[in-house]
Structure formats: structure tokens, C-alpha cells
Amino acid sequence: MYEQIDKHKKNITCAERGSVSLKKNAYVVDKRKNNVIHQLQGMGGNRPVQCFPKDELKETLGSSFIEKHIANSGAPLLESREDQENVLESVYYHRPVDDRRPMNTVFFANAADINNDLKDNAEDDLSYAEKYTTTESYPAITVLRVFKEQSGEYAKAEFQFGNAKPEVKLNKQDGKPSFNHLEKTDPRELEHKFNLI
């Protein structure tokens, strides 16, 4: 039965949201199928089919996305070892102090440009369950930094850079949906790689 539920979840699209109740009525005689539809409508809310028009989006990227992943500037210099170490530290410390991770990605582009690209590339109906990406690629740097405070040395000091598309999901900010969560970059591994150890 759970396989059928998963199959139905994958097959129901935003365009079909209005027809779920009709499908339910059609399955009244068959209790097993009826139960599948009931679970899609009831368990955990309507998340599999919750949709809204994209004009309900905030006009900018979500603040969480910007704080973690956007540097409104051109790509930095990477010519010398000192440049590379500065970039490693800058991308690591770009995240808010209470949300730092060993790995982080920063896009060196204007937040409004990325937001408009995501919005233009999306369908008219959006969903919190879907992932969205841009048409254009943007300069990006991904770092992996692990520092041993006791010895004052890096355990890991790696970074990648190149052009990539952000793949994002929606969540709410100030009561409105916004592109606010980075899932990954496309490509996942960027073109150039450095290991500073």
C-alpha cells in the first residue's frame, strides 16, 4: 500500500490539485484506493499538492539564503596562496555565527538577479515540495574547512570554484514564500579544485 501512496504522490501535479476530490469520489467503492487518496489529502496536510501562483513570491531572495550563500560582489582573486586562504576563511565565515558548517557555498552575484532568474525559469504554479534552478550559471565557491584550535592547523582546507546554477527550495519568510534554501549546485562539483594542505 505504501508503494501505491508514493506512486500517487509522484503523479499528482499542481494542475491536478482541484481534481483530487473528484478522484476520491470515484474510488468510494474501492476502500483501498479510497484510503490512498484520503491519506494524500489528510496525513501531514496537503503538502504533496499544495501549490500557489509565483506572483505570491517575495520580490527578493529569502534573507537566510542571502546571509549564507550570496556575496553581492565579483569573484575574488585566487592567484596567490594568501588569496586562497583568505577566500577559504571568507566563505566559511560568511554564514551567520550560529549556523556555521564545515562546508559552505557562496555565489558571487546580485541577489535580485538570481531571484529573477529563478522566478522566470519556474512554472506558473509553485510548490514547497519542488526544487527550482536558474537558467544562467553564476560564479560560485564551495569550501570545506575544518580547523583544529588546539594545534592551530587545518584538518581540511579545500575549495572549489567555477560557474554553477543554484538549485533551491521554497520556504516561508514574513508569511510569504521565497527562494530561501540551497539544495545543491549544478554541477555539484565545481570546475577548479584546490587543497591548501
pLDDT tens, residue by residue, 108-165 = 999 999 999 999 999 889 999 999 999 999 999 999 999 998 999 999 999 999 999 9
105 burial level (CB within 10 Å; 0-12, 13-18, 19+): buried
Residue 35: how many CB atoms within 10 A of its CB? 14
Look at residue 14 and tell me whether its pLDDT is greater than 80. no
DSSP letter, residue 173? E
DSSP 141-174: EEEEEEEETTTTEEEEEEEEEEEEEEEEEEEEET
**Span of 28-42, 76-90, 98-112, 132-146 with lowest mean pLDDT:** 28-42
Start-to-end CA distance of the chain, whole Å, equals 52
- Per-residue model confidence (pLDDT) at position 116: 95
Amino acid type, 196: L
Bridge partners for 169 per DSSP:
181
- Cis amide linkage into residue 48, ω under 30° from 0: no
Domains, the chain: 2-50 (no CATH), 53-195 (3.10.130.10)
Residue 72: is its pLDDT beyond 90?
Answer: no
- CA 108, CA 12: separation in Å to the nearest integer? 37
The pLDDT confidence band at residue 51, using thresholds 50, 70 and 90, is: confident
The answer on pLDDT for 6 being more than 90 is no
Dist. CA 127–CA 180, nearest whole Å = 13
